[in-house]
Structure 1
Amino acid sequence: MAEDVVDLCAALLRIDTTNHGRGESAGEREAAEFVAAHLEAAGVPATLLEPAPRRTNVLARVPGTEPDLPAVLVQAHLDVVPADPAEWSVPPFAGIERDGYLWGRGAVDMKDMVAMVLSVVGTWAREGRAPRRDVVLAFVADEEDTGACGAHWLVDHHAGHFAGCAAAISESGGFSHRTFDKRIYPIGTAERGTSHLRLTATGRAGHGSRRNEDNAVLKLVNALGRLAALRHPVRLTPAVRAFIEQVGAALGVPVDLDDVDATIARFGPAAKLVENTVRNSTTPTVLDAGYKVNVIPGSASAEVDVRTLPGTVDELLAAVDDALGPDVRREFLQHQPPVQAPIDSPWFDAMADALRAEDPEAVVVPYCLGGGTDAKAFSRLGIDCYGFAPLYLPEGFDYRSLTHGVDERVPVEGLRFGARVLDRFLSS
């Protein structure tokens, strides 16, 4: 059994758990069996659950020394997005260590976190230690698609496993981000909602050479033009406001909440952490119309990636409907509300303390995730969900661009730092 967090991560990267979406997947079974075997070796019983063949989830619980305290959930997904080997410098599933980095699909999203958790649990077993409170573990399938075989299925069918969990941690937070002379560590306390839409326009089919005032393609294109022209207003949620104020104070730059765009522009590299979360967004991504150049089709459709900030969903959808007009109907492909957890919380304070214990110069701030995670599922159980998968990253390392990107990799010393931080947080 591997013990070092780097060896654990490398082994996980060598297991192909590609999720192609729309129900097509290599499956998470081998990775789930790997995780379960390591938990069992550390004396932690593990349960494997499959809602569909090879779509495997792992559940476990590490008892704490004070079991009456609220439990903490650690949730991480085992699946990864596709990788085209022709685009990569190394084979995507080789788990190669090179130049101080561990390379492979899933290195930062999010088999690094899986490895860090296994490393911490293994360390507790070897050293005869236990966490203060129960640590509930969920290593899940299908996060990279709908969660129907993973977190959402578990919440619907196995909610009892999460009884007593007050807070949860998972991906997309706790990593270092160098900005000027500061190391900023954003902890995810919110994330935008996901309201993916399919738009459909219908009209009169006919010959492409003839006049047609009922052209479905034109109806759709015109509606998309109006949608693209929307200028969504700034909406400062608690997490975003706190990020702007605290980062501005740390960097010593003026903060003007009446001109948020100008304020963010003064943040340098830290602007990327907040620029997508001061507004909602409506981004057309898929078009489908026609089958022959001289035929006007009877229908045309598009798909739009809609992201909503907490408290703005109804307002945003009303603006979308106004832009689409009467000739285009919409339906939800996915409709998951935004997520928010408290910033002024002992959970947030404990995460910040664990980071500062390993990096005394850490500037820890709350932030809002622009995309989405399985927090949307677990928050349905009343659990406060945080993005906290700690990593120490070298200056100039563009961590966020490697998520779903080519040549995904994670620094090996960053992994070891993250395991130490997780140990501090989960132990105490």
Structure 2
Amino acid sequence: MADGNVAEDEVVRICQELIRIDTSNPGDNSGPGERAAAEYVAGLLDEVGLEARIYESHPGRASVIARIEGTDPGRDALLLHGHLDVVPARAEDWTRDPFGGEIADGCVWGRGAVDMKDMDAMMLAVVRRRLREGRRPSRDVVLAFLADEEAGGKWGAQWLVQEHAGLFEGCTEAVGEVGGFSLTVPGDKRMYLIETAEKGIAWMQLTAGGTAGHGSMVHPDNAVTALAGAVARLGEHRFPVQMTKTVRAFLERACMAYGVEFDPAEPEKCLAEIGPLARMIGATLRHTLNPTRLDAGYKTNVIPQTATAQVDGRFLPGYEEEFFTVVDELIGPDIKREFVYHDQALEVEYEGALVAAMERSLISEDPGALPVPYCLSGGTDAKHFAKLGMRCYGFAPLRLPPELDFSGMFHGIDERVPVDGLRFGVRVLDQFLDHA
């Protein structure tokens, strides 16, 4: 059997085995951690002669780093990164065991199948194949399999960047998750969305103060009432459309692919054409605010002294200051605002040799490929690596069947990835490393 076929078989097995290692991350260090998965990954790399080191930032919170030396020491290095943790899953909600890694209906099922143990498996299968064959890339490639991405990266990418920045010496570009997947368009074509931008993150806690008292009395100074008003104003506010360079480029190309006229005055018109993905793309046209938690009091007839709420805010690249000005106007002067988590928005140009390598590798495996830049409505570990000056992209290539609601797989029930998509990704990533 040709080694390429071995790698394509291996990616499926590795994805299954990674899913079977429970790395659920509830965000408070109460989960199993990533240590078992890190040891598994390090073992796979050690088997093919690549020295891999495990870095543990907190008991059980483990990341794996390895460096492949390139043939041209004069070139800058490339970072390929993935995360090992997953969001929790309740087995009773799923059709199949979320940690079973089963193959059914042509897919590998389980938590992490698309977020993002599929990409971890593709990276491992490609690297193992290349090292077995003695094929080194022209530039150094740093591999990072990271802890804690699902809770902001405190114990993973953030910690490594702050405490072990030397591991990434020479890396000027980084490639990670949530990009390179296909969206079927008319004419037997597929747009492949390459992430060149991410919205910023503002998870905020709001606190209202008042005077405690008996629930039976007239009480105008009520913390719950004050907080509820602020939360309602945030939740009901709709920011205006603001098209960044990346979002405009995506919409123009999407309209062209669907044969729809692009109207810059009403850019949301073409969203109806792209199906379920419209949820993700639509969120990149404007800032968003979504209240997610409320907490106050301990007894029905006791007016509490304080009330708190948490809000998930996401802001567009280049508009952070404006976003917070509006937030503070909406909550008013009497509500205290603090960050639960806050990180920057990102945007890089869709150009250069690395982008050309992505496009070339996709078109080689799918002549109907139409690569396009897009902005991610969420966030990834790229935010931390950008602080080291890296240009960051999302490129985890998958050719998907048109009926699969791919964006719905992220953190969703019955998460799954097509087996053929994994095999496709291995072929594309292998060629990408030849040209990157």
Q: TM-score range by the shorter chain?
A: over 0.9
Q: How many residues align?
A: 428
Q: For residue 252 of structure 1, what is the aligned residue in structure 2? A: 259
The SS at the match of 2:282 is coil
Find runs of 4+ consecutive structure 1 residues off by over 4 angstroms: 266-270
Q: For residue 310 of structure 2, what is the aligned residue in structure 1? A: 303
User: Is 1:261 equivalent to 2:268 in the alignment?
Assistant: yes
Distance 2:319 2:301 in 1: 43
Q: For residue 82 of structure 2, what is the aligned residue in structure 1? A: 76
The SS at the match of 1:4 is helix
Q: For residue 142 of structure 1, what is the aligned residue in structure 2? A: 148
Q: For residue 375 of structure 2, what is the aligned residue in structure 1? A: 368
Q: For residue 408 of structure 2, what is the aligned residue in structure 1? A: 401
User: Is 1:354 equivalent to 2:361 in the alignment?
Assistant: yes
CA contact (8 A) 1:192 1:277 kept: yes
Distance 2:420 2:108 in 1: 10
Cα distance, 1:248 vs structure 2: 1.3
Deviation string, structure 1 residues 199-232 (Cα, Å, up to 9, x no partner): 0000011111111110000000111122223221
> One-letter code of the match for 1:110?
M
Deviation string, structure 1 residues 110-163 (Cα, Å, up to 9, x no partner): 111111011011111222211121111111100011311100000001111111
Distance 1:267 1:255 in 2: 14
Which residue of the other structure, out of 406, 417, 427, is the alignment partner of 1:420? 427
Q: For residue 289 of structure 2, what is the aligned residue in structure 1? A: 282
Which residue of the other structure, out of 4, 9, 21, is the alignment partner of 2:15? 9
Deviation string, structure 1 residues 294-323 (Cα, Å, up to 9, x no partner): 111111000000001111111010101111
> One-letter code of the match for 2:284?
T
Distance 2:23 2:106 in 1: 24
| TM-score (structure 1 length as normaliser) | 0.97
The change in CA–CA distance for 1:119 and 1:266 in structure 2 (over 3 A counts) is closer
Which residue of the other structure, out of 125, 133, 150, is the alignment partner of 1:127? 133
Cα distance, 1:180 vs structure 2: 4.0
Cα distance, 1:3 vs structure 2: 6.6
Q: Give the stretch that moved more between structures: 14-23 or 375-384.
A: 14-23
User: Is 1:113 equivalent to 2:86 in the alignment?
Assistant: no
Distance 1:36 1:301 in 2: 43
Distance 1:172 1:388 in 2: 7
RMSD between aligned alpha carbons? 1.5
The SS at the match of 1:67 is coil
User: Is 1:343 equivalent to 2:350 in the alignment?
Assistant: yes
Cα distance, 1:333 vs structure 2: 0.8
Q: Give the stretch that moved more between structures: 206-215 or 17-26.
A: 17-26
The SS at the match of 1:137 is strand
The SS at the match of 1:381 is coil
Q: For residue 173 of structure 2, what is the aligned residue in structure 1? A: 167
User: Is 1:18 equivalent to 2:24 in the alignment?
Assistant: yes
Mapping for residues 209-220 of structure 1, pairs under 5 Å: 209-220=216-227
CA contact (8 A) 2:42 2:64 kept: yes
Q: For residue 313 of structure 1, what is the aligned residue in structure 2? A: 320
The SS at the match of 2:219 is coil
Structure 2 portions without partners, runs of 5+: 1-6
Distance 2:325 2:8 in 1: 53
Distance 1:51 1:2 in 2: 33
| TM-score (structure 2 length as normaliser) | 0.95
Distance 2:9 2:37 in 1: 16
CA contact (8 A) 1:3 1:122 kept: no
> One-letter code of the match for 1:216?
A
The change in CA–CA distance for 1:2 and 1:396 in structure 2 (over 3 A counts) is closer
Cα distance, 1:173 vs structure 2: 0.5
Which residue of the other structure, out of 390, 404, 414, is the alignment partner of 2:397? 390
Cα distance, 1:2 vs structure 2: 11
Distance 2:273 2:105 in 1: 33
Structure 1 portions without partners, runs of 5+: none
CA contact (8 A) 2:396 2:425 kept: yes
Distance 2:320 2:28 in 1: 25
> One-letter code of the match for 2:247?
V
> One-letter code of the match for 1:141?
A
The SS at the match of 2:367 is coil
User: Is 1:200 equivalent to 2:214 in the alignment?
Assistant: no
> One-letter code of the match for 2:216?
S
Deviation string, structure 1 residues 23-52 (Cα, Å, up to 9, x no partner): 222111111011111111111111111011
Which residue of the other structure, out of 279, 293, 297, is the alignment partner of 2:300? 293
Which residue of the other structure, out of 123, 148, 157, is the alignment partner of 1:151? 157
Distance 1:92 1:270 in 2: 23
User: Is 1:411 equivalent to 2:418 in the alignment?
Assistant: yes
The change in CA–CA distance for 1:38 and 1:266 in structure 2 (over 3 A counts) is closer
Distance 2:297 2:123 in 1: 50
Cα distance, 1:7 vs structure 2: 0.8
Distance 1:16 1:267 in 2: 34
CA contact (8 A) 2:200 2:317 kept: yes
Distance 2:417 2:292 in 1: 29
CA contact (8 A) 2:8 2:423 kept: no
Q: For residue 221 of structure 1, what is the aligned residue in structure 2? A: 228
CA contact (8 A) 1:178 1:396 kept: no
CA contact (8 A) 1:179 1:269 kept: no
Q: For residue 39 of structure 1, what is the aligned residue in structure 2? A: 45
Cα distance, 1:268 vs structure 2: 4.7
